[in-house]
A and B are shown apart, each in its own frame.
Chain A
Amino acid sequence: MSNKNITCECGHVNPYGTEICEVCGKPLKGDLDSKQLLNMRYEGSARRSQTYKTTIIDKIWNFFSSVKVGIWIIILLLVASAIGTIFPQEMYIPPLSDPTVYYKEQYGVLGQLYYDLGFHNLYGSWWYMLLIAALGLSLIVASLDRFIPLYRSLKKQRVIRHESFMKRQKYFGVTEVNENTPDLQGIKEALEKKRYKVKEEEGHLFAEKNRFSRWGPYVNHIGLILFLIGGMLRFFPGMYVDEVLWLREGETEKIKGTEEAYYLQSDGFILETYDNNDEKFKNAIEESGQAAVAKNYQTDAVLYKQVGERVAGTDPELEKVKEHPIQVNKPLKFDGYAIYQVDYKLNELQTMSFTMDNKDTGESVGDLSINLYNPDKSYDLDNGYRVEVMDYFPDFEFNDKGEPTTKSKIPNNPAFILNMVSPEHPDGEVAFVAIKQNLEPLGENDYKMSFQNVDTKNVSGLVVRKDNTLWILAIGGAIFMIGVIQGMYWNHRRIWVRRTDKDIWLSSHTNKNWYGLKRELESISTQTGLQMPIDQAEQKK
């Protein structure tokens, strides 16, 4: 404790920097007889930031404890956040597009500038993070700086307050004593009827209600700090999983991100649309210009759990956990994970089947069916006929040099270079086979591949999520709401009464909603016959 503590005439030792005695309310600063209203903010308590200003730590503390600085941080965050919505963020531009050219192409010079300034990834930028960190620091420092001394003051306040304290409140009234003036007991009852907690001491009354509302701001700041901590936890390994899972109808896949513990099987993907002739929605669907409006995206999924250790080279032993139709808004939840329906592909090619025909006779010598995800090296057709897969392009296109190549591993446009082996041609004849294309690059062949049909399947685009930070975010959010409501929907009101032989003084303070306080005082003065206190702030004008 500093030896510069201030001892008030009431005997209480106040910490250095106190402006209004914590116990009796005597103003410790400035002229005691001043008529100016007391500055009741934080009860005139000794805040560290207003008291110590020399060392570096003081200066940092004082910087972040300043509400002005806090407001600036809020404004900067606000402006920065708004700027981030001018053009879409990188994560929202079409997939596969190159951001270095996308912004210029779509939005011209301004788009280029936006990209050059790094605004295409604004919310993940170091300076945006820094602003959020500064906000967190400001929340902690500013709250501590105010809460502790305020708590002390409100805890230590005494029933009997200094004359100067009472006179210098916004609401102050004097009622002369005559035969009609009520005794303290009557006033006390009137106050208690208004649900004040009233204490009495030597001809003084002190009525107070809703002090807890003063803690509202600090409670909500704690909530916000927890929320920010929750946001930070995301970056720790294991807290957060986010994987994409494409699942074909009828297939079972390992669920990525679950450390191979779980498997998911799709029993089918369903896409439902609204009936375009539905009386209710007809006009809207027509107006929208869309051919159809989606009603439901659904993957009928079965969740399996692996039993025991998996032996290399064998299929894992699976145990069914549950069946669940995964729909938008209705993820499949298990063991902290959730699997969401986010995308789909209809009629993705699975297998293509061909016959190998003799061109002269037109007769087929055999048929084969190629799995487009995993083609065999060669297909035996008996009787000396065989088809070898020399090359496979699942998503075929010609590159810049005019060579065949593939855009992706998804069989959107499958093409093959096949070698047809026959008794006449034991070395085979080469054919290039694609959808609606049949080329003979090395000269005329005697045999040809005839396309028969394709098998398609629907594919579900799912997202696997685990977010172990949600609980802390939920707690933070809940505490924030409690704090805001506690601080905003209740008001801390205090009334001091002092009775002498001559007159009765009444003064009053609230932290906000003066109109409500005024109405309450009016009601109390009508009930008790006391003079309605004067609004001294109004008087000064």
Chain B
Amino acid sequence: MAQLSSNLLYVAFFIYFAASIVFAISLFGRKWRKSDEESHAKKWGMWGFILSTVGFLFQLSYFITRWIAAGHAPVSNLFEFTTFFGMAMVFAFLIIYLIYRSNVIGVFAMPVAIIVIAYASVFPSDIQPLIPALQSNWLKIHVTTAALGEGILAISFAAGLVYLVKTVNQKKASKSTFWLEFVMYSLISTIAFVILSLGFEAAGYSSTYQFVDQNEQQVTVDYTLPALAGPTDGQYVSGNEFGPLFEAPSWMKGEKAAHKLNTLIWSIVGGLVLYGLIRLVLRKRIGAAIQPALKNVNEELVDEIQYRAVAIGFPVFTLGALIFAMIWAQAAWTRFWGWDPKEVWALVTFLFYAAYLHLRLSRGWQGEKSAWLAVVGFVIIMLNLVVVNLVISGLHSYA
């Protein structure tokens, strides 16, 4: 069952990939074939939607079979949660598509969902037993609702990105072009990180170091990527003998600080290389390269979708990530609120989108400003997923 489940996920992943390509084709009206532009977009858009739906059904099957195999809702560790978040994004996209029939959102939303799911694959995917704190019906209720809320909010990011790519003036370099490229680079370096991680894992790379941590404890740490940054005064123990090239600065404390730094360096460098290669091929900014494909996009509609996704997602997120979270915390941790980092970052996300709504509804922040806010909102959601789980450890660090 577990094997079947992971195969279903692979299938879903590749169908999502196909759906993204089909959506992209729908944008290139006349260039593709000399058919009437509108019917072309309609036809390919429909296929994109059908493929996305089929992919979603496959992923739903993955989810259900894994649930059966594990005996609990598969949202209990980073692999499962991140995968589910990707699925929630696709689901949110399908709903938004049914309302607005916008192909261009698919061109951006589906690849982002793919990157999220690919990122999930870096984490160990073994079925884990539930520790006592997680044994509750609220696990499925709280986590799925929170992830769905985040998925819908992520669609607002995709729409914001469309808006920016379409409207940012690419004729000359500016702050806007820089930050837009930075967003592109961040997405690319996530891809680079996934490729590197899976590549070295497939090659069986591993090296182990030993060092004394700040509590004077002897600690061993496993590197699955070649060690560029090693632990302070670390000793090589076993495995591949490459590196470390330098030691992590001593102010970086914590058992896994050097290991995390090493991963971060690989992601940054890998991302730069991949980004550089793409720039070499394109010979212009990525934003500038995509822009012409969006010339028929109705930017007001995209802006509307971007806002609508927040309007739909915000209540869902609040319900799942704050209210259900508090109800569960009261039962599991004796208090509904305890300033645990994950709790705080859910509050930060809530406050951010509250500010977004007030800026938009009362201060008239629409269009580009609003699109940038949608991007920042997604950054906050990703911070909560990645940094808070991996760097700041609190009660929620289950992975």
Contacts and interface: CB of A to CB of B under 8 A. Distances in A.
Interface of A: 41, 67-68, 70-71, 74-75, 77-78, 81-82, 84-86, 88-89, 91-92, 105-110, 123, 242, 274, 278, 280-281, 283-285, 287-288, 293-297, 327-331, 338, 340, 342, 463, 465, 467, 470, 473, 477, 480-481, 484-485, 488-489, 512-515, 538
Given A68-B363, A281-B127, A488 B323 contact: no
A70 B358 contact: yes
Interface in B281-311: 300-301, 304, 307-308, 311
Contacts of A106: 214, 253
Contacts of A84: 339, 344
Given A465-B334, A467-B330, A512-B311, 10 more contacts: A82-B345, A92-B394, A105-B214, A281-B129, A295-B131, A328-B132, A330-B331, A331-B334, A512-B361, A513-B311
Given A123-B339, A281-B128, A284-B127, A82 B344 contact: yes
A480 B350 CA distance: 13
A467 B336 CA distance: 10
Nearest to B345: A85
A77 B351 CA distance: 8
A465 B333 CA distance: 11
Contact of B363 (A71, A78, A284): A71
9 contacts: A41-B362, A91-B339, A280-B2, A281-B129, A329-B133, A467-B330, A485-B315, A512-B361, A514-B304
Contacts of B351: 74-75, 77-78, 81
Nearest to B100: A515
A473 B336 contact: yes
A85 B132 contact: no
Contact of B341 (A41, A68, A85): A85
B66 to A, nearest CB: 11
Contact of A284 (B128, B326, B344): B128
Contacts of A296: 132
Contacts of B304: 513-515
Given A78-B355, A82-B348, A85-B388, A488 B339 contact: no
B129 A293 contact: yes
Interface in B117-135: 124, 126-129, 131-133, 135
B344 A477 contact: no
B319 interface: yes
Contact of A329 (B135, B354, B362): B135
Contacts of B330: 467, 470
Contacts of A278: 129
B359 interface: yes
Nearest to B383: A82
B11 interface: no
B132 A340 contact: no
Contacts of B340: 92
A261 to B, nearest CB: 20
Nearest to A124: B339
Contacts of A88: 394
B21 interface: no
Contact of A283 (B126, B315, B336, B361): B126
Interface residues of chain B: helix, strand, loop or mixed (majority): helix
B396 to A, nearest CB: 11
A485 B317 CA distance: 12
Contacts of B128: 281, 284, 288, 293
B315 A484 contact: yes
Nearest to B364: A41
B362 A78 contact: no
A150 B359 CA distance: 20
A540 to B, nearest CB: 13
B344 A85 contact: yes
Interface residues of B, number: 58
Given A280-B69, A284-B128, A465 B394 contact: no
Interface of B: 2, 69-71, 100, 124, 126-129, 131-133, 135-136, 214, 250-251, 253, 300-301, 304, 307-308, 311-312, 314-315, 318-319, 323, 326, 330-332, 334-336, 338-341, 344-345, 347-348, 351-352, 354-355, 358-359, 361-363, 388, 392, 394
Contacts of A342: 334
Can you list the 10 inter-chain pairs with the closest CB atoms, starting with the nearest? A328-B132, A284-B126, A67-B362, A283-B126, A85-B341, A284-B128, A78-B351, A108-B251, A281-B129, A274-B129
Contact of B132 (A78, A327, A480, A538): A327
A463 B126 contact: no
A504 B133 CA distance: 66
Given A85-B344, A281-B128, A284-B129, A71 B358 contact: yes
B239 to A, nearest CB: 16
A70 B355 CA distance: 9
Nearest to B352: A78
A67 B129 contact: no
Contacts of B354: 74
Nearest to A122: B339
Contacts of A274: 129
Contacts of A71: 355, 358-359, 363
B376 to A, nearest CB: 11
A2 to B, nearest CB: 26
B124 A287 contact: yes
Nearest to A491: B311
Nearest to A288: B128
Nearest to A84: B344
A287 B394 CA distance: 20
B139 to A, nearest CB: 9
A340 B334 contact: yes
Contacts of B358: 67, 70-71, 74
A410 B140 CA distance: 40
Nearest to B339: A123
A74 B355 contact: yes
A77 B350 CA distance: 11
Contact of A81 (B132, B326, B336, B347): B347
Contact of A294 (B71, B131, B251): B131
B344 A285 contact: no
Contacts of B124: 284, 287
A283 B126 CA distance: 6
Nearest to B130: A295
A331 B331 contact: yes
B132 A481 contact: no
A343 B324 CA distance: 24
Contact of A89 (B129, B315, B339, B355): B339
A515 B301 contact: yes
A177 B352 CA distance: 51
B339 to A, nearest CB: 5
Contacts of B126: 281, 283-284, 287
B312 A481 contact: no
B183 to A, nearest CB: 20
B130 to A, nearest CB: 8
Given A68-B363, A287-B126, A78 B332 contact: no
B161 to A, nearest CB: 19
B314 A488 contact: yes
A300 B307 CA distance: 52
Contacts of B335: 465, 467
A284 B125 CA distance: 8
B382 to A, nearest CB: 14
A381 to B, nearest CB: 46
Nearest to A72: B355
Contacts of B392: 85-86
Nearest to A83: B344
Contacts of A329: 132-133, 135-136, 331-332
Contact of B251 (A41, A68, A109): A109
B389 to A, nearest CB: 12
B345 A328 contact: no
A342 B315 CA distance: 32
A30 B69 CA distance: 70
Nearest to B136: A329
Contacts of A484: 314-315, 318
